[in-house]
A and B are shown apart, each in its own frame.
Chain A
Amino acid sequence: MASSIFTVTHKNGRKTRSLLAPFLFLTPGLIMVAIFIYYPVFKTANLSFQHFALFDQGHIFYNGWENFRGIFHDVHFHRIIQNTIIWVFVSLFFQLTIGFILALYLKSKFKFSGLYQGIIFIPWALSGFLMGLVWKWMFDDNLGVLNDILKNWGIIDKPIPWLSNPNWAMAAVIVANIWYGVTFFVIMILAALQGVPHEILEAAELDGCSRAQTLFRVIIPYIRPTLILIVLLRVIWITNFPDIIFGMTSGGPNQNTHILSSWLVQKVTYDQDWGSASALGLVMLAILFIFSIFYLLATRLEKDSEL
């Protein structure tokens, strides 16, 4: 009987029996993850050493490190790395700051707070690719809102070609990404804030904490485990989030707004070179893996989790 395995009644019995229980709880999740995530990755590792192009299916063969060499020697490689770093950290900084402030405001009840909440949550209900298209339309030279407003206010007299100037285009995709990602932080931080017990806040107030002190000394330490996790997840996701760039610029003009992941999309969809794309995927994986290890060591997540 399964139930007898789960039954843990006494402290003495617990040590021996609970050895099995956590694994039973974890098994379904681990099986799904193994099949749908790890198996594909190993398959990819295999593909990355092959010449595997969909347009050239007759000639699939192992070509050693050729795919990796191609990536590192690509003329655009340095620009793409640089873009990726700017893209991730600028986006993250503004998303976190704006998201945190909005979450604090939304937590306090005020007139129409539900409505505000609704408005803030909308971006996140939309697909990134389509939002890329909507922003492309807004930044458009002729039919875009932005140039129209600037023109009406008399700030510019002829349209700025936002998306065809490499620097403007990079700024434009980052703005779109900030807008898109703020919601994630609002939701997660809001949920975390609602877990902060009233007693603690009341105690802080009784002890004469100012609002800033309450925020930095009480609230932030309390939700720190959640914060650390969502920041890490977010760094990884922003790195792996080509949708907006794909929708807005497709990496152009002349590959100037590519980040690693949108480059990967291009390799998959346009070039259809699965071997090279797999190799690039592995390179990204390695970069993120190393970053995460340093991040976790720096924030000492494990210490927090030993409750």
Chain B
Amino acid sequence: MFLTSIRPVRETTKHFYYPHGNSTLENYRKLFSQYAFGTYMRNSFIVAFAASAFVIFIGMMGAYALARYRFKGKAQIMLVFLVTQMIPGLIALAPLYLLLSKVHLLNTLYALILCYVGGMIPFATVMLRGFLQRIPPELDEAALIDGCNRFTALFRVVFPVALPGIAATFIFSFVQCWNELFLAMVLIDSDGNKTFPVAERSFIGAYYIEWGGLAASVMIGIIPTVVMFALMSKFMISGLSAGIVKG
């Protein structure tokens, strides 16, 4: 349905538009000639990919500890992670701005990556823990007996078996970072470091929305996430059981 919102060219303001002969790609061309959408996309991609990779790495370790060990304070640590999910991210804007300006990271992509990693870790850890729990502990015990240490057991043996869950978490985190608007708006000032959603927002004026350009940028903006999903869905679909039965 909203696919129709792409093609409306300039005459978008009167009635609902049915595509006919006068459709053009003008809006798309403008994105890259008039605006620097190539750069914005690159920035977004770097940030989302780096943040998600870190999130999975750190999250897997945490999830593994929570899924496999019994120790004092485990319930409390779960609580520490769960509580974070209740915090409206918006209230962190001002404190994070003040914090990052102190360490001179404002206006850099590092700032965004750090914030996103911090923000995504609790979710990823809790989610991955759920997936890890359904993998029989015998699997990594066998790996330990075969001479792995905990770390290699985790990343060599458990990781591949948990791929569907990891893929789901990775895609999720990637898309969240890709679409995040408010932090990127506040922390990034210079045009060269803007991310995609922030740039998209420039189509929305106070009294007037440039539907054509906005719709075109929305369409461009979903390509990476859709591709991401297509790449990852292979792992999601491959299923857990095969790996376990063989082990």
Contact = CB atoms under 8 A, between A and B. Distances in A.
A29 B121 contact: yes
Contacts of A195: 131, 134, 164-165, 240
B126 A229 contact: yes
Contact of A285 (B65, B82, B86): B86
Contacts of A282: 91
Contact of A36 (B82, B118, B133, B241): B118
Interface stretch (A63-71, A77-85, A93-101, A142-150): A142-150
Interface string A14-50: 0000110111011011101101111111011001000
Given A124-B175, A125-B229, A233-B123, A302 B149 contact: no
Nearest to A265: B90
| Residue of B67, B78, B118 most packed against chain A (CB within 10 A) | B118
A233 B83 CA distance: 10
Nearest to B17: A143
Interface string A208-221: 00000000000000
A126 B71 contact: no
The contact size tier of chain B is: 35 or more
B202 interface: no
A30 B121 CA distance: 9
B222 A126 contact: yes
Interface in B97-127: 98-99, 114-115, 117-119, 121-123, 125-127
A299 interface: no
Nearest to A301: B78
B85 A233 contact: yes
B209 interface: yes
Interface string A228-241: 01001100110010
B226 interface: yes
B150 to A, nearest CB: 4
Interface in B153-207: 164-165, 168, 171-172, 175, 178-179, 181, 197, 200-201, 204
A6 B91 contact: no
Given A3-B149, A6-B149, A194-B236, A19 B123 contact: no
Contacts of B126: 229, 233
A185 B2 CA distance: 22
Contacts, number: 233
B21 interface: no
Given A137-B211, A191-B131, A284 B58 contact: no
Contact of A130 (B80, B83, B125, B200): B200
Contact of B165 (A32, A36, A191): A191
B81 interface: yes
B130 A25 contact: no
A160 interface: no
A33 B62 CA distance: 12
| Residue of A23, A32, A133 most packed against chain B (CB within 10 A) | A32
Given A35-B99, A36-B92, 17 more contacts: A9-B144, A21-B150, A22-B74, A33-B80, A37-B87, A37-B118, A118-B230, A133-B209, A134-B5, A138-B1, A138-B2, A148-B15, A195-B165, A233-B123, A237-B85, A264-B88, A285-B86
15 contacts: A18-B69, A21-B69, A29-B121, A125-B175, A130-B218, A188-B127, A195-B240, A197-B244, A229-B127, A242-B90, A277-B90, A284-B86, A285-B87, A288-B86, A305-B78
